[in-house]
Structure 1
Amino acid sequence: MADRSFLQWPFFEDRHRELAKTLDAWCADHLSVDHADIDAACRKLVSDLGAAGWLQPTAGEVLDVRTLCLIRETLARHDGLADFSFAMQGLGTGAISLFGTPAQQDEWLPLTRAGKAISAFALTEPQSGSDVANSTMTATLDGDDYVLNGEKTWISNGGIADVYTLFARTGEGPGAKGLSAFVVPASLPGFEVVERLQVIAPHPLATLRFNDVRVPKSALLGAPGQGFKVAMATLDVFRTTVAAAALGFARRALDEALARVNERQVQGAPLFELQMVQGHIADMAMDVDAAALLVYRAAWTKDSGAARVSREAAMAKLYSTDQAQQVIDKAVQLHGGDGVKHGQKVEELYRDIRALRIYEGASDVQRVVIARQTMGAFLGGN
């Protein structure tokens, strides 16, 4: 049984506690989706989550980050692909919630919240990665349309999404000042899935190409040249939820380890009786609680009205993803040979966690963010 005591922390309200309890029960009854066909599995998960109402918090006038984090943590603890499916519905339409016109919101948000349309966030390019300001994809104004040309890669839900939040260079200024955001349906002529990308923890990922794809001016999200602002504001909300997913993986790893060391006999006694094993369990429990404190501090701070939580979100993501990797590694070690056997939960978690230290800002990028924010606060206080 996963630890629930953290739900009594003052970060949460009764509605959060009830949500966590209800979702946990739903997951136990419904998350038995076959992962053999990843595309089909994601479509089914989005449909099931939408039908049950769990996608409602992914879009709206106010995005409650504590709710998003609790949902991601709970889903990740049960099934990594379910967490992925939920997360991308939020990230893919988060910019529409925050910056979309009423027409854009009315067209897409009811569909994505109901699980009837799949969304994606198309930011990364082959040469840019975390350096968003170095994006080269163009959106050229031609009459009443923008014409999109270029490539995006490592796009989650690439190839199965119905709508993409896309970032392209419109040229209002150099670097980040010249980017704009668009709502782009996947059905438009000139849109092409170039390659489906295979990774250690299977997800639908793709490289996309846009060849003279025409979108109307009404597809613009926010004002021209505000793309970087749109991207960062969206990531400011959802980066903390990445940390929550890592926390869910770590909690599950700790639970699996506790069951193992309680049941496994060594010289007539449970493996847990070995002091070295107790040391590992203590470190794992401490890392889980420390991660949870950082995650829900960041979420609570954002929900309390902070305009930006870049520092708090970066700390939560950096610590939670890095330490979840260590917690899961210890769980694998405590399982011995079984820990690396395909089909074991800890082996699955070992593959699931690695990507979280890279996407939505790699760990070293988070260190840069934290250092700059900390120095800025120091200089601002002098």
Structure 2
Amino acid sequence: MPAFSLEPDQVARCAELRTLAAERLRPLAEKGEPGHVNRPLVTELGRLGLLDRLFTSGALDLCLMRESLAYACTEAETALALQGLGAHPVHAHGTAAQRDRWLPGVREGSVVAAFALSEPGAGSDAAALSLRAAPDGGVPDALSVRAGPGGDVPDALSAEADGSRRWRLTGEKCWISNAPEADFYTVFARTTPGAGARGVTAFLVPADRAGLTGTGLDMLSPHPIGALHFDAVPVTADDVLGGTDRGFRVAMGTLNLFRPSVGAFAVGMAQAALDASLAHTAGRDAFGGKLKDLQTVAHQVAEMALRTEAARLMVYAAATAYDEGADGVPKRAAMAKLLATETAQYVVDAAVQLHGARALHRGHLLEHLYREVRAPRVYEGASEVQRGIIAKELYATLEARP
């Protein structure tokens, strides 16, 4: 891809968004309770038109929004991202009735969405889902017993069955952002046993559906995360997103869009830590001069800047590839998330070291970033998963060569 630089209007929008985040969103974030959905903050994101942009903009614009918000208010960034992650499957794969029912509220910030993929026994190995969608009358469960080689289901049979099928969801989801306080969940469940990734269906499940309960989890990251418990929760063909046994494609398509923007979130945090370190080392008296005059400190700051800019460029390139429909999007998205999240961890840790004990004080910017920066290396595919995706794509490209 060509060398990347933002257009002047993009730079201006990013600066404006940083200001909005600092002046209008951060005060609301500070009033929120850690571990719980901050609905006034979500509402303000809707009032500012940022939630609507989740569905009207491309991957690059999503990255620019997430990076800008993360720089000034990580809570606002996370609230925006979780709305997009939970609702994108509805936007991209939902029926007209599903979109009309749920997306207006998501856009205005009155409805909170969540993406429910991970389970206690299926985190990194998302294809190993065990949440069971058991047949509940309707068309006989032919799909459960007649999956073809590799789990393929004949399209005609699938289409015939989709019209009147009913299921009961039984099992658990875990480490679900916005749970248990979301208004609806995009839930991935196994409809065809033994079919691996080809036997998963995505369902839109309202939070008030009978048999669905949840509990909050006390996690290092300050945003809301919980577990969901499904006790024979009823769902029908009207709740399916993207077709029966096609849910894994829904999940991976969503993650391919959002993985580069997870990288953008990380870049925003890295930039905030870098800027704080520049200001601190330029003003801090030490050893007869300023900290910045020590070569070890200056070189450390230079390394932080180098890695942050490299991560930023990879994120922008991956997002642009997605928007242009270029080849290799899964590999680019994985590379962007991997490099950016690992870089942010390094930069924030280095910034804490440069600041010393003051950075460990509760309420300090870097203490906050230190808690925030760890989770992105795990969620939406851990770093090890991203390396696996990259290697798989590289070898597939090699095998495809004449």
SS at structure 2 position matched to 1:209: strand
Whole-angstrom distance in 2 between the partners of 1:161 and 1:111 = 12
Cross-structure match for 2:71: 77
Deviation at 1:361, TM superposition (A): 0.3
Provide the identity percentage.
42
Q: Which moved more, 1:40-49 or 1:146-155?
A: 40-49
Question: Judging changes above 3 Å, is the alpha-carbon distance between structure 1 residues 338 and 362 closer, same or farther for their aligned structure 2 residues?
Answer: same
Aligned residues: 371
Equivalent in the alignment of 1:47: 43
Query: Is residue 153 of structure 1 aligned with residue 149 of structure 2?
Result: no
Helix, strand or coil: the match of 1:153?
strand
Cα deviation for residue 21 of structure 1 reads 2.6
Is the contact between residue 173 and residue 225 of structure 1 (CA under 8 Å) also seen in structure 2? no
Which of 188, 194, 198 is the aligned partner of 1:177? 198
Normalized against structure 1, the TM-score is what? Answer: 0.93
Preserved CA contact (<8 Å) 1:169 1:178: yes
- Cα displacement (A) at 1:25: 2.1
Secondary structure at the aligned position of 1:335 is classed as: helix
Residue 156 (structure 2) pairs with residue 135 (structure 1): no
Q: Output the aligned Cα RMSD.
A: 1.6
1:57 is the counterpart of 2:57: no
Amino acid at match of 1:354: R
Shift of 1:307: 6.7
**Residue 347 of structure 1, CA deviation:** 1.3
Give the SS at the match of 2:168.
strand
**Are residue 102 (structure 1) and residue 96 (structure 2) matched?**
yes
Partner Cα separation in structure 2 for residue 364 and residue 21 of structure 1: 34
Q: State the match for 1:125 in structure 2.
A: 119
TM-superposed CA distance for 1:171, in Å, is: 0.9
Question: One-letter code of the match for 2:27?
Answer: S
1:196-250 Cα offsets, whole Å, 9 max, x none, are 1111122211111111111231110011110111100010000111100000000
Q: After TM superposition, list the pairs within 5 Å mapping 1:21-36 onto structure 2.
A: 21-30=15-24, 31-33=26-28, 34-35=30-31
**Deviation of residue 303 (structure 1)?**
0.7
CA 1:363–1:45: 2 relative to 1, 3 Å: same
Q: Is the 8 A contact 1:135 1:169 kept in 2?
A: yes
SS in 1 for 2:27: coil
TM-score, normalising length: structure 2: 0.89
Question: In terms of mean alpha carbon deviation, does 13-22 or 174-183 score higher?
Answer: 13-22
Conservation of the 8 A alpha-carbon contact between 2:35 and 2:222: no
User: Which residue pairs with 1:168 in the alignment?
Assistant: 189
Q: Point out where structure 2 has 5 or more consecutive residues left out of the alignment.
A: 139-163
Q: How does 1:1-382 map onto structure 2 within 5 Å?
A: 10=4, 12-13=6-7, 15-30=9-24, 31-33=26-28, 34-35=30-31, 37-38=33-34, 42-60=38-56, 63-142=57-136, 143=138, 144=164, 145-171=166-192, 174-193=195-214, 195-306=215-326, 309-382=329-402
Q: Is the 8 A contact 1:16 1:66 kept in 2?
A: no
The one-letter code sitting in structure 2 at the alignment partner of 1:177 is: R
CA contact (8 A) 2:4 2:316 kept: no
3-state SS, counterpart of residue 342 of structure 1: coil
Alpha-carbon contact 1:42-1:82 (below 8 Å) kept:
no
| 1:67-96, Cα deviation, whole Å (9 max, x unpaired) | 111111111111221111010000001111
- Name the aligned partner's letter for residue 107 of structure 1: R
Question: Is the partner of 1:214 in helix, strand or coil?
Answer: strand
Gaps of 5+ in 1: 1-8
The corresponding residue for 1:5 is none
Deviation at 1:369, TM superposition (A): 0.7
Per the TM alignment, residue 140 of structure 1 is displaced from its structure 2 partner at its CA by 2.5
